[in-house]
Structure 1
Amino acid sequence: MSTTSPPQSELIWVDGPDGYALALDGTTMVCRNAKGRRLKTVPKKVRESAEAEQLTSVRLWLERHERECAERVESWLLGSLPVPAPMIARVWPDPAWRDLLADLFVAPADGGEGGFLRGVDDQGRIGVVDLDAESAWLDADRVALVHPVLIDDLDEVREFALELGITQRLPQLTREIHRKPAEVAAGSTAVTDYSGGEFEQLRQATGRAQRYGFSVRGGYAVCRVGEAGRSLQARYWIGSEMPDYETETGTLIWVDADERPLRLADVGPVAWSEGVRMAELIYAGRKNTQEETQR
């Protein structure tokens, strides 16, 4: 399979003061002296130079760009959004995009066998390594970044990825999943398994939610997902008192785009998995964890 996976670029050096030169290695500023030897640290007078300030501005832009790329790719994964193959081809040469997309498990959006994304050819075709360890081209105009809860035989796919030495910049196969029980209470709209988690201060619960990338609104930790063309939110009650007051977690619910609670029976596998994952991550930080362990 011949794909356009650009090699690592050589560093581009910018002349600095007193014969020093500066470059960005990823988002790290590096320096070499007049003899061309790369230094372990950037000298103070070079670090405070106009050239260093310019590179710092570039570095900040690159870091922001990487964050925005990561947020977009994760939204494709959580939103079950079909991604046009030409879009992947267009962004693939950019290292920020390529590092996130490489080795993700993708499949044709309209159904069919998938594989691990390995590259894009000159015609814009998506190249993968399939589950038979064969190189293949996806014959699809749109592809899906498959949420792990939707991957058949996930444990086997994970083992196969280990055999291939695959590592993913954006955790996909290693993402914790939670499968919806075969039966849920008829008419129920809430999960109570994660209620009663006590925190000495509300800010501890909100801080834990934000640390894992969830927003907090109106007393709820919120996770946005998309499923079957619908925009949904999983909401987990963590409290709405003053930040330094004690709080106790409540129920986990799902709402649609019109803020209407969904019956648990109507919550799809991706929304269920991500909602429960959010609740578990926050609930694990409760102060009564140790007491429960000692019982």
Structure 2
Amino acid sequence: MGWLAAGDGYEVALVEGRVAARATAGRAAGRQLKSLPKQVREHPETERLRRFAEWLDRHAAACVAQVDTWMVSSLPVPTALVAEVWPDEAWQSVLRDLVVVGDDPEEAGFLRDVTGSGELRVVNLDGETVRLSPVTVTLPHPVLLPDLEDLREFAAELGVVQRVEQIHRATWTRPAGLADRSVEVTEFARGRFASRFGLAARATSLGYRVSGGYVTCAVRDAGRAVGASVWIGEPYWDGETETGALTWNDREGRRLPLREVGPVAWSEGMRMAAALYAGRAVEEGEDA
């Protein structure tokens, strides 16, 4: 974006997401100023740029949220859609370097470019750039990637930084030998918090939903809608509270036996419970 006139002797522009000004006359002509002069701060052009910057921030956040949803649920995304949004800097910064899979689930690689015709350019684990033209592309949840450790090592070599946490996302694998009637996980239960309000605030800051007495997250696992939940106490109680057990429910609200919980739903539920538990009050001293 270029510089725009903002009164006599000044111009404004968005620089790294913030409104900046520069003088157009005198000794400082052409130099960016450290702060906005009063007449520039109150100019209509400055206000329009501020509003535009706020919109850009909201747009960038929306892109991250949408791509995170695609990845967590491993939803197939039309390649034509990816090609359409790729020229948008906000979309591109989120999609670039995510691990994608086309028609062959064994050929995962890092997305580096997308052509206008919908051709994906992907760097595979052999270090080769391959061209893919699938009808849909999937951004797999990391628990579904058989070569996850290799991808992590290769990403370090390439200097890959992902805007959406994918390959470095904490994952949990459902253990074998679970009892048929087991319906809850207590590994992250009994985490003590000074107040329910504080625990609920932590959940919200982590991006989870607080509904009634539970913290919840919704996941699509192999096309099936599943909800994970952790009890945090009665909604209007603001005294000391503890995290409860982790459970999963289907769309109809039926509590799922642990053996029926899919790999993505298991991993995301455990990730949520662990993140909540990590903020617990920890006692210090010999008797802690």
TM over 0.5: yes
For 1:56, the equivalent position in structure 2 comes to 50
Letter in 2 for 1:130: N
Letter in 1 for 2:102: P
1:294–1:84: structure 2 CA closer, same or farther, 3 Å change rule? farther
For 2:5, the equivalent position in structure 1 comes to 15
SS in structure 2 at match of 1:53: helix
Q: CA deviation at 1:273?
A: 0.7
Q: How do residues 210-225 of structure 1 correspond to structure 2 at under 5 angstroms?
A: 210-225=204-219
Cα contact 1:23–1:29 (8 A) shared by 2: yes
For 2:93, the equivalent position in structure 1 comes to 99
Cα contact 1:203–1:244 (8 A) shared by 2: yes
Please provide the CA RMSD for this pair: 1.7
Query: Hey, what's the Cα distance between the residues in 2 that align with 1:76 and 1:157?
Result: 19
- Structure 1 stretches of 4+ moved >6 Å: none
Cα contact 2:76–2:138 (8 A) shared by 1: yes
For 1:3, the equivalent position in structure 2 comes to none
* Cα-to-partner distance string for 1:108-127 (whole Å, 9 max, x where unaligned): 26634021000112321111
For 1:28, the equivalent position in structure 2 comes to 18
State the aligned residue count.
284
Query: Hey, what's the Cα distance between the residues in 2 that align with 1:62 and 1:201?
Result: 36
- Which of 64-73 and 94-103 deviates more? 64-73
Q: CA deviation at 1:139?
A: 3.4
Cα contact 2:84–2:116 (8 A) shared by 1: no
Cα contact 1:114–1:138 (8 A) shared by 2: no
Q: CA deviation at 1:286?
A: 1.2
Q: How do residues 1-295 of structure 1 correspond to structure 2 at under 5 angstroms?
A: 11-34=1-24, 35-108=29-102, 111-287=105-281, 289-291=282-284, 295=288
Query: Hey, what's the Cα distance between the residues in 2 that align with 1:198 and 1:178?
Result: 23
SS in structure 2 at match of 1:17: coil
Letter in 2 for 1:15: A
TM-score (norm. length: structure 2): 0.93
Q: Tell me, which stretches of 5 or more residues in structure 2 are unaligned?
A: none
TM-score (norm. length: structure 1): 0.91
Q: Tell me, which stretches of 5 or more residues in structure 1 are unaligned?
A: 1-10
1:146–1:226: structure 2 CA closer, same or farther, 3 Å change rule? same
Letter in 1 for 2:21: C
Query: Hey, what's the Cα distance between the residues in 2 that align with 1:271 and 1:165?
Result: 30
Identity of aligned residues (%): 45
SS in structure 1 at match of 2:283: helix
Q: CA deviation at 1:155?
A: 1.7
